[in-house]
Every structure is written in structure tokens, then in C-alpha cells.
């Protein structure tokens, strides 16, 4: 995997395009959302007309990131007309585009920009580097390649773009605390943080702010933790009944698997909840050290990073637990 890409072919596609489609992965997280809007603002700085399409509504705690001057849609609403270029951001596989996959394929040209372990180079052009801590780190490289110059953009717009790039880095590194944080990550962050007016407030909104409903859900859920292999593996499954009983929502459980991994002695945490489309369960995994949970999730149709991965699974969590224990053994 090269440290730097030749971005000129993509730059040529951008220069010839007007209406450009941007597609983040399903269940868009902070990095995926920030990648979409940073790229949109950057394209607008060049006089382009970007359009973002999300698979689901953005979770409430991240709606503060939505700009009021970017055209975006949420499935089942879809934009009309044709696109000269489609860009998939932060999507490891074509399946991670969900119902928007045909929009990607119908565009005259398309490309993929991604930082996950590469399992599906589905774009006509692919810029994939698992050494990027976040997709926004890859976009920083794009914005500063020889074909463009980030610092030539008008100051106010440059500041807005930098804010999104920094926020994307912050979310995917857990506040620069995860193992994916590299020297380059911190170097890029140092270039961006001067544009962030209140880093402490941003950090609070991303990592600390909570609701009474989420606290109630966590209390109910964590009473159901199950341990295996002498406490090295921890499992948790929550159901629609748990959400209903606490008046909570799907995204209130997003951080649970990371909290499970912090339990002393745990090397692998596996968490399941009903997936958004009702067709099965969403399995999320976290691990410590050299345990590669992406290797496991790929075996059940998912993917991700070495220490953070997931999959949509049509079977039961009991089946997944059995597979995990056998894999760990």
C-alpha cells in the first residue's frame, strides 16, 4: 500500500464534472459524516454541485454536524437526475452502500476513498489505505496533493472544511486514544486544530454528552453481560424489548461495545442488537492488542479494522457466540 497516491486521475474527473454524488457507508458514523460534508464543501469551493445521500437519518447526537448549505437526502428520498461522478467515502464494501448502490453504479464515473482493511475495491478508481486512522486523514491528503492546495481556499470555507476533517479524525481515533492513531494522524490534527474554536466543547458533544434514556438502557443491558474463556471474551445482546422498556433508540447503544472492552481481563467484546432494516442482527466487535476481529467479521459477511469491526448477520447471536469462541480457541 503506497503512502501517497497519484490523485491526478481523480482530479481530472472532478475538473470535468459538475454534479457529484457523495455516498457514506450505512449507519454513518462521525468520520463518515464528516468525510461527506468536508468533501462537499471542498467541491463547492471549486464551483461544483455536490449531493450527499445517507442510508438512514443521522443520529441525534451528530445532527449538529449537518451544514445548512449542502444538498443532502436520506433514503427512501433520492435525488433526481444524473451524476458525472460518484464518490463512496469510508465504505469498505459495495454492500455498505445499501440501497444507494445503484446510484453509485449509474454515475458516469465513480471512485472509492476508504481506510478500512481492503476487501472490495468496487470503484472504477480506488484510493484505499488502511494506514489512515480515519477517512478524513485520506481526504486531507487529497486536498493537499499537487493538483490542489487546501490553503488557496477562501479562509472562512477553509476553516469549515478543517473543522470537519478534525472532527472525523477525533471520532475515529476515540479522541486520539485508539491504536490507529499514528504520528501522521497527530501531524494532520496539528494543522487542523487552529480552525476549531472550542475543542473541549466538541470533545464533550462527541464523547461525553448523554441522555437519561441512554443511561437507563445501559443499566438494563449491562446486567445481561456474559463472559467466556475465563473472562477474556464478553458478550451482550439487547433486543427491541430493551429499547422499548427504556424509551431509548438504536443509536443510544453505539458506545456499548467499546465500554465492554474496557472491562479488566477482556480481550474481545462482541455486542449485538437488531439491525436497522429488521432482517437480522448487527454485530459489533472490539479487541485488544494483536487480536484481529476484522478477520472474524469478514467470515460472517462483515469487515472493519483490526481492533474494531462489525457485520450484519441474518442468524442468531447464539450462532455468532459459538463461532467466536471456536475462533478464539
- Kindly report, residue by residue over 184-195, the tens digit of the pLDDT: 999 999 999 999
Cell numbers given for 78: 433520492
The DSSP secondary-structure symbol of 267 reads S
pLDDT above 80 (res 278): no
Say whether pLDDT at 123 is over 80. yes
- Residue count of the chain, please give it: 329
Tell which residue, 114, 133, 142, has the closest CA to residue 23.
114
**Same fold flag, 8-207 and 212-328:** no
Asked whether residue 1 carries a pLDDT value surpassing 50, the answer given is: no
Domain segments of the chain: what residues?
Answer: 8-207, 212-328
Q: What is the model's pTM?
A: 0.88
The whole-number pLDDT of residue 279 equals 81
What CATH number has the domain spanning 8-207? 3.90.1640.10
Q: What is the pLDDT of residues 250-269, one digit of tens each?
A: 999 999 999 999 999 999 99
Enter the DSSP assignment of 43.
H
Looking at CATH, the fold of the domain delimited by 212-328 is given as: Diaminopimelate Epimerase; Chain A, domain 1 (3.10.310)
Residue pLDDT, tens place only, 141-150: 999 988 887 7
User: Which residue spans within 59-108 are E strands per DSSP?
Assistant: 71-74, 85-89
Reading phi first (left if > 0) and then psi (alpha if -120 to 50, else beta), residue 288 is in: beta
Q: What are phi and psi of 109, to 5 degrees?
A: -135, 155
How does residue 2 score in pLDDT terms, banded at 50, 70 and 90? very low
Q: Which three cell numbers mark 275?
A: 439491525
Q: Taking CA 130 as the corner, what is the angle to CA 251 and CA 177, rounded to the nearest 5 degrees?
A: 55
Amino acid at each position: 500500500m503506497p503512502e501517497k497516491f497519484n490523485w491526478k486521475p481523480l482530479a481530472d474527473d472532478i475538473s470535468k464534472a459538475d454534479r457529484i454524488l457523495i455516498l457514506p457507508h450505512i449507519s454513518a458514523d462521525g468520520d463518515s459524516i464528516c468525510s461527506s460534508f468536508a468533501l462537499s464543501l471542498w467541491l463547492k469551493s471549486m464551483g461544483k454541485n455536490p449531493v450527499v445521500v445517507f442510508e438512514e437519518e443521522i443520529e441525534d447526537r451528530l445532527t449538529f454536524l449537518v451544514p445548512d448549505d449542502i444538498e443532502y437526502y436520506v433514503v427512501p428520498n433520492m435525488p433526481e437526475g444524473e451524476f458525472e461522478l460518484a464518490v463512496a467515502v469510508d465504505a469498505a464494501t459495495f454492500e455498505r452502500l445499501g440501497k444507494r448502490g445503484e446510484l453509485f453504479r449509474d454515475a458516469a464515473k465513480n471512485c472509492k476513498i476508504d481506510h478500512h482493511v481492503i476487501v472490495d475495491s468496487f470503484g472504477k478508481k480506488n484510493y484505499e489505505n488502511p494506514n489512515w486512522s480515519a477517512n478524513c486523514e485520506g481526504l486531507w491528503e487529497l486536498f493537499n496533493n499537487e493538483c490542489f492546495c487546501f490553503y488557496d481556499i477562501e479562509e472562512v470555507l477553509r476553516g469549515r472544511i478543517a473543522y470537519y476533517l478534525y472532527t472525523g479524525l477525533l471520532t475515529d481515533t476515540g479522541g486520539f486514544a485508539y491504536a490507529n492513531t499514528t504520528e501522521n494522524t497527530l501531524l494532520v490534527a496539528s494543522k487542523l486544530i487552529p480552525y476549531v474554536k472550542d475543542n473541549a466543547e466538541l470533545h464533550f458533544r462527541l464523547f461525553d454528552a448523554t441522555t437519561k434514556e441512554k443511561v437507563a438502557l445501559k443499566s438494563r443491558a449491562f446486567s445481561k453481560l456474559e463472559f467466556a474463556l475465563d473472562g477474556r471474551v464478553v458478550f451482550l445482546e439487547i433486543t427491541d424489548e430493551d429499547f422499548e422498556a427504556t424509551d431509548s433508540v438504536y443509536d443510544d447503544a453505539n458506545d456499548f461495545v467499546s465500554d465492554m472492552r474496557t472491562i479488566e481481563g477482556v480481550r474481545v467484546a462482541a455486542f449485538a442488537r437488531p439491525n436497522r432494516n429488521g432482517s437480522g442482527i448487527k454485530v459489533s466487535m472490539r479487541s485488544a492488542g494483536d487480536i484481529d476481529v476484522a478477520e472474524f467479521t469478514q467470515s460472517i459477511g462483515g469487515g472493519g479494522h483490526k481492533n474494531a469491526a462489525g457485520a450484519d448477520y441474518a442468524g442468531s447471536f447464539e450462532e455468532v457466540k459459538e463461532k467466536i469462541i471456536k475462533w478464539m480457541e
